[in-house]
Amino acid sequence: MSLTKIFSLKCFVTQYLLAFIGLYLAVNVSCCFGGLVSWVGRMFVVSALAWGLTKKIRKRLNKEFLTSYKRAVLVTGCGSGFGNALALKLNEHGFRVYATVLDTESEGAKKLISGQRFEGKTK
């Protein structure tokens, strides 16, 4: 991983360290926590706050979504399990799904063929 990626604001470690350092300084400077909380307690509070702040920052920065317009997906192993669920979910989100199964007469294949937007072409 390059240094620019490590120190970018999208990097979890960088966000956590910035939040941790800021909160640590704020807690140590404030007189409110002076004699009430031990050093270990302050570190726990600062870590918890930094973790929460980091989650909020990451949630706001990671807003990159892929649109389903003119997108196609090939999903293999759609007869059952994860492949079947993924094909149905991508279909719900508007992707053109090419689902492959071993047996076109299986229950999973029939479920896919009878889906809302699936055209039901089998070869």
Determine the pLDDT at residue 27. Answer: 65
For the stretch 57-115, pLDDT in tens is 777 777 667 777 888 899 988 888 888 888 888 888 888 888 888 888 888 888 887 76
Q: Which residues have a Cβ under 8 Å from the Cβ of 8 and sit 6 or more positions away?
A: 14
For the stretch 2-44, pLDDT in tens is 655 555 656 667 777 777 777 777 666 655 555 555 666 777 7
Q: Where are the domains of the chain?
A: 3-61, 72-113
C-alpha 116/C-alpha 114 separation (Å) is 7
Determine the pLDDT at residue 58. Answer: 77
Determine the pLDDT at residue 37. Answer: 54
C-alpha 79/C-alpha 102 separation (Å) is 7
How many helices (H) and strands (E) the chain has is answered by: 5, 2
Both tokens of residue 12? Answer: 């979890």
Residue with tokens 């999903």, as numbered in its chain:
75
Residue with tokens 């071993």, as numbered in its chain:
102
